[in-house]
Structure 1
Amino acid sequence: MFATATRNFVEEVDNGGLLIPVSSLNDTIALLTVVVKRKRFWVWQKPKYIPSDFNLNDILTGDIPMKPGVIETDFIKYNGTFGDNIQATVDANFVHASVSVEGKDSSKLQSSFGSLKKEEVDVQKLLRDSKSRVLDMSHDLIQQTKEKPRQVFGFVKERIVTTQPSSVIEEVQQGAQCGGGLSLCGPKRSKVSLKENGSLSKDSNITMEIPIHTTIAYALLELEIKQDGRFEMCLMSDTTGGFEVDGLAKRRPLGVFGAPASEKNYLRQELEQLSDHFQLLSSLPATTRSFLLQQITKVMEDRGACSSLQNALEQMCLDERPALGDVTTTEPQKQNIRAILDLLEQSGQVESTPVLTALNLVTSAMDEMTNDCLAVLGVCCSLTVLQALELLVQCVSGKGELHLSGAGLAALTEDVFEKTEHLFALSNVSLERDGDTVKTKISHLAGNRPLVLCIAVRGLASLAHCD
């Protein structure tokens, strides 16, 4: 809840800017707090920021701490309400499954942060005070960070804090009517059956009280660190920090190698480079693909769960054991994530780095989506709709024009097309319908949103392919 609220706040007030949302109330973010910035597995992913228990003075040599001036200003008064009202009817045929589902979900997240204050370090004074200072390269935090690739040091130069007690309120209402029969074959051949005409409803109302002086967002100054401990602050937004490398090339994230002149060429080039991953997913056994698609679709209902699944798969790709005990989501969602990881382990896919990488690719794309985009994609995860979405993705990166009378597009009824149009618009791609033809156009300076959508759709559609 808190992470979603702060993420919404940053998207509204500083979208594409320098502010970083605080993801946990347990994080202590003060001015000069040292934060480790970890570059992700794919170049187009946003970095992950890991606050430490130290401030800049703790990792400097010498006994005299720096005391930079602090500038305080009123920021804004912020109260935001975000919600989804989703109604959908889905008829799906999975392997060993036939399902008809009518669902109506509504959710509302209300963030009442009230009057906010901005605290900034006097950077000019800090520059003067740090001229002759050197980092203690023997400090454990520096040693442990330096040993791992793709990690950068920074410190908090400004933060946005609450000035009064505030709250985050989440209200969820879910209802569903299910018809038909469902028999899911998961790990160890366990079987779950749902009888005809079942129903499910769920209501929840959670209030989180936020204390005064809570940091909800912050900005960093990254450090470029020499081997002898001397450092420079990266004052320009287009400069990044890092450790000086002594003869060994740093391991680079996968993905984009340089964008061509046009957005369409860039998109086509990237999807071609990633096509082997989609082919690998579509070649998995049908029962495995069916189970993965169903479980991932469930995980998509919760932004936090989607991030947790992506983090777990990324850790496994880096030969690390995922720490599911630290996952902050509901117990049913933890079970969904565990079911996916168990299936991968029991089917021998944990040893198959390409399969883990392919799944990590898809889930990382979903994790980069806005909350609205992820919610709309989640209700489009029937087999026939995913097939149609995949054809639209090929259209976006190709000729930009598609005839709706073609094979595989029957699912684009008026209602479904409206949702599809909204989904693509949220990803900076417009769909214009002219009779029996759809024309696609990528917005100018669309960023990575079209690529993220295309990867997510291609990946999910690969799991939905029929044999």
Structure 2
Amino acid sequence: MSHGLVLQTKEKSRRVFGIVKERILTTQPCSVIEEVQQGGQCGAALSLCGPRILKRVSLKENGSLSKDSNVTMEIPIHTTLAYALLELEIKHDGRYELCLMSDTTGRFEVDGPSKRRLLGAVGAPDSEKSRLAQELEQLRDHFQLLSALSTRSSLLQQLTEVMADRGAVSSLQDVLEQMCFGQKPAVSDATATESQKQNIRAILDLLEQSGQAASKPVLSAFHLVTSAMDEMTNDSLSLLGTCCSLTVLPALELLVQCVSGTGEVSLSGAGFAALTEDVYEETERLFASSNVSLERDGNTVKADIRHAPGNLPLVLCIAVRGLASLARCD
């Protein structure tokens, strides 16, 4: 935190740090040509100059001037044309949080008794588990909104199909982000296959059928879950897709509660009936891919967050809690 770049950035209130998560690059050299036509009056000497600009100028006897100009800009290969940025909320000790929700922006933690606390920083937790528990507690209202949707089971089915393709998840997340900011979703412009676009349209239709398509809290909650899915590693997303069923998701949610709670749970409970040997092995791999270890001793499972886990445990827990909310039975 004492690095010169960090200190300089903290002095500028509107500057934040972020992570570039995707870019659009040119794959071959290309050019952009701008054609400009101008007209005016002049009554004295005329002088025109300009590097690398092709111009045609005519001066009539009455002093009127008309000018056409073509401005050409050459764009080399591998030039970044656009990028997606994920802003960071940075604490005093150098730890940071990803701004996964559309209504959060990057910033530095502020000194003083009246400082604005970062998401989940209340109480300055001493362990990763307590920090994770506080993060999830602050997001509880989002999960409750999802569990109350009338079309939640159909939404879960469509999300499961979207999860099979990383690009489809990113496209869905982009469309929902547009809606969260009050923009009309441009599904046809999304960088996705036609099949992926059909899945995205189906999800938007289901949100509309539930009567919540225009509800910002519901959109923010749904966007939170897709953002978490988009931040998962490829292995984690693939493994989560294999465990994404109405019977398995409630068991995964209980394990998430174990991770952020006591750290130990018995598999003999009714909620874990769906965790057969094969499913448990997939579940163990899923949590391991997000820096959470599950150690089984008979019917008892102990959950531990690994050293320096980053945000992967939080991302996994948000995704599981959100999907389990959609799998909730009446």
For the criterion TM > 0.5, the same-fold answer is: yes
- Gap change, CA 1:459 and 1:37, over 3 Å in 2: closer
Structure number with greater Rg is 2
Among 368, 385, 398, the residue aligned to 2:248: 385
Q: Hey, what does 1:347 align to over in structure 2?
A: 210
Residue 271 of structure 1 aligns to which amino acid in structure 2?
L
- CA–CA distance in structure 2, aligned partners of residues 31 and 328 of structure 1: 19
- Once the two structures are superposed, the pairs formed by residues 49-128 of structure 1 within 5 Å of their partners are none
Q: Hey, what does 2:15 align to over in structure 1?
A: none
CA contact 1:386–1:457 (8 Å) conserved in 2? yes
Q: Hey, what does 2:302 align to over in structure 1?
A: 439
Among 135, 150, 159, the residue aligned to 1:270: 135
Report deviation, 1:30: 7.5
- CA–CA distance in structure 2, aligned partners of residues 45 and 342 of structure 1: 27
Report deviation, 1:348: 2.6
User: Any gaps of 5 or more consecutive residues in structure 1?
Assistant: 1-16, 49-148, 152-238, 241-251
- CA–CA distance in structure 2, aligned partners of residues 284 and 19 of structure 1: 33
- CA–CA distance in structure 1, aligned partners of residues 201 and 19 of structure 2: 34
TM-score by length of 1: 0.49
Report the 3-state secondary structure (helix = DSSP H, G, I; strand = E; otherwise coil) of the residue aligned with 1:383. Answer: coil
- Gap change, CA 1:382 and 1:32, over 3 Å in 2: closer
Q: Hey, what does 1:424 align to over in structure 2?
A: 287
- Gap change, CA 1:340 and 1:26, over 3 Å in 2: farther
TM-score by length of 2: 0.68
Identity %: 64
- Gap change, CA 1:353 and 1:325, over 3 Å in 2: same
1:314 correspondence with 2:177: yes
Q: Hey, what does 1:405 align to over in structure 2?
A: 268
Report deviation, 1:261: 2.8
- CA–CA distance in structure 2, aligned partners of residues 378 and 422 of structure 1: 12
CA contact 1:362–1:459 (8 Å) conserved in 2? yes
- Gap change, CA 1:24 and 1:346, over 3 Å in 2: farther
Q: Hey, what does 1:394 align to over in structure 2?
A: 257
Residue 284 of structure 1 aligns to which amino acid in structure 2?
L
Return the structure number with greater strand share: 1
Report deviation, 1:381: 0.8
- CA–CA distance in structure 1, aligned partners of residues 266 and 214 of structure 2: 43
CA contact 1:40–1:47 (8 Å) conserved in 2? no
- Gap change, CA 1:416 and 1:37, over 3 Å in 2: closer
Among 335, 359, 362, the residue aligned to 2:222: 359
Residue 44 of structure 1 aligns to which amino acid in structure 2?
L
Among 428, 439, 455, the residue aligned to 2:318: 455
Report deviation, 1:350: 2.1
Q: Deviations over 1:233-260 (max 9, x none)?
A: xxxxxx99xxxxxxxxxxx9x9444763
Q: Once superposed, what is the RMSD of the aligned Cα atoms?
A: 3.3
CA contact 1:281–1:459 (8 Å) conserved in 2? yes
- Gap change, CA 1:275 and 1:47, over 3 Å in 2: closer
Equivalent pairs counted in the alignment come to 251
User: Any gaps of 5 or more consecutive residues in structure 2?
Assistant: 1-17, 29-74, 90-96, 109-115
